[in-house]
Amino acid sequence: MTNGTLYGVGLGPGDPDLLTIKAARLIANAKIVAYPAPVGGTSFARSIAAHLIPVNAREIVIQVPMTLERAPAQAAYDLGATAVRAALRNGHDVITLCEGDPLFYGSFMYLLARLAPDFRCEIVPGVTSLSAAAAALRLPLAARNDALAVVASPLSDAELSARISESDTIAILKLGRHLPRVRTLIDSLGLTQNAYYVGHATLSDQIAVPLKDAPETAPYFSLLLIAKGVDPWL
Amino acid sequence: MTNGTLYGVGLGPGDPDLLTIKAARLIANAKIVAYPAPVGGTSFARSIAAHLIPVNAREIVIQVPMTLERAPAQAAYDLGATAVRAALRNGHDVITLCEGDPLFYGSFMYLLARLAPDFRCEIVPGVTSLSAAAAALRLPLAARNDALAVVASPLSDAELSARISESDTIAILKLGRHLPRVRTLIDSLGLTQNAYYVGHATLSDQIAVPLKDAPETAPYFSLLLIAKGVDPWL
C-alpha cells in the first residue's frame, strides 16, 4: 500500500475568507484532519476552517499543554506524530490545519520534523498575520530595497533594540504579556510615533491603532509594526 | 454620489489556487480592474487572475517602464492614479491586482500613496513569495523566538553581511542580476551549505534547490533563503 501524504495547510490569520482556494479544497475533501488545541481549550486553527471540515472526517487533536517549558509540548507532538504516522502508513492523507502560514512561527514544523524523513509532505502556504496587520493599517511592510526585520517579543531589550535600529520596518510578534516592556523600549528609542499595534487581525475583534492608543494588555496573537520611512493611511 | 472603494488585492505568488477566497470573489465580481504591466509586455498580476476577470470588466492598465531610474515609473503611477481616481469619483470600485501581498515589496503602495488621502481603501492580504518559497523547500522561516530578516539583493555587501550575521533566517529577494555577487558573498561567509534558491515559486517552472545547485542566472522573481538553525526536508 502506498503511504499517504502529510499536508500542512496554512489557513491565514483568522478570517475564513482569507483561506486560499487550495486550502479550502483540501479541507473540504479531507478524510482525516489534524490540528493542535490547547489542553482544555478549543483550537483556533479548527475554528477558522470549521465550516469546511466534512462531518464524517476523522479529527486528530494534538492536545498541547500551554507551558513555558518546551518538553511537555514536544511530548504532545510526539503523541500527535504517532497518530498521524499510523494514518499515513494506512495510506490516508492527513490534512493538518495551521493558523497563518505553516512555516512562519507555526507549530506544524514539529510534525514536519518528525514525519518528513519517512513520508511525502506538502506545504500549502497561507497569508500571515504580518500581512494581515499591514493590510489593516494600510502600512507598507517593505518598499523598494527596504529591509524588514521580524522578531518575537520574548527577545531581550538589547536584541530588540539592535534589530529595530538596523531595519526600515520591524515587526514584533507574539506580544502577549511582553507588551508593557516592549512599549517602554520603543518609547526609550523615540519611535512611539512610528509604531502601530494590531491585535486579532481580520477577526471581528480586530484592533489596529497607533501604539499610543494600544490597550494595556495584549493577546498572544498580536503584534507591533514599527515603520521608520513610511506613514500608514489609517 | 458616493465615491467607490480602492481595493488592493493580493493574488499570491503565482499559482491561481493560492488566491484567497476573498480575492477570487472580488475579482469575479469586478466592474473595473487595474494592474501594472511592463511597457510592451504582459502583466504577471493579470495572468494569475485572468480566469476570474469578467469579460465585460473595464481594465485600467498601468504601463510601467522597466528602468532603473524611478522617475519614469512614478510618472506611470501618476497616470494610472488619475484613471483610477476618475473611476472612484464616478462611484465605481476599482479592484487592483497585486502579485503576492500588496504591501510586501509591491507596487500597489504607489497607488495607495496617491489615492488613500481621498478615498476609502481596502487591502486584501495575499500569500507572499517568501511563504511559497519556504513551502517549496519545506524550510521553516521562523521557529519559536527566531529572528527573520528580509532584504533586497541590491543592498551593498556590507549591509547584506550585517543582516545575515544577525538573524537566524535571512531571505534575500529580487535576485535577478545580483545572484552572482550574492552567491560569492554567501560563500565568503561560509554559509553556502545553509542557503537555498527558489525561482518562480509555485509556477510550472519553479526551481527550489540548495544554492550550490542554483542556476547561473536568476529571474527577478527569485530569492535565496539562508537558514542557520534548521534543515529543510527537500
Q: Is B147 in contact with A148 (Cβ distance < 8 A)?
A: no
Strand order in the sheet with B207-210: A207-210, A195-199, A222-227, A169-173, A148-152, B148-152, B169-173, B222-227, B195-199, B207-210
* Res B216: pLDDT: 93
- Residue type, position A31, single letter: K
Angle between helices B71-89 and B108-115 (to 10 degrees): 60
Residue of B15, B103, B166 with shortest CB distance to A139: B103
Q: Which residues of B touch A25 (CB under 8 A)?
A: 17
Task: Look up residue A3 and give its DSSP letter.
Answer: P
Nearest CA in chain B to A165: B163
Q: What confidence tens digit (pLDDT) does each residue in A93-115 have?
A: 999 999 999 999 999 999 999 99
* Res A136: pLDDT: 97
Whether B100 and chain A come into contact, CB under 8 Å, resolves to no
* DSSP β-bridge partners for residue B37: B63
Residues of chain A with pLDDT under 70: 230-234
* Gap from A234 CA to chain B (nearest CA, Å): 9
Q: Is A126 in contact with B127 (Cβ distance < 8 A)?
A: yes
Average pLDDT of the residues of chain A:
95
* Res A113: pLDDT: 93
Assembly ipTM: 0.96
Whether B213 and chain A come into contact, CB under 8 Å, resolves to no
* Res B231: pLDDT: 61
Residues of chain B with pLDDT under 50: none
Whether A16 and chain B come into contact, CB under 8 Å, resolves to yes
Q: What confidence tens digit (pLDDT) does each residue in B72-82 have?
A: 989 999 999 99
* Gap from A44 CA to chain B (nearest CA, Å): 18
Closest Cα to residue A201, out of A121, A136, A114?
A136
* Res A233: pLDDT: 57
Contact between residue B96 and residue B111 where contact means Cβ atoms under 8 Å apart: yes
Q: Is A25 in contact with B10 (Cβ distance < 8 A)?
A: no
Residue of A17, A147, A162 with shortest CB distance to B20: A17
Cell numbers for A139, please give them: 502600512
Q: Is A123 in contact with B138 (Cβ distance < 8 A)?
A: yes
* Res A230: pLDDT: 65
* Res B31: pLDDT: 98
Q: Is B233 in contact with A116 (Cβ distance < 8 A)?
A: yes
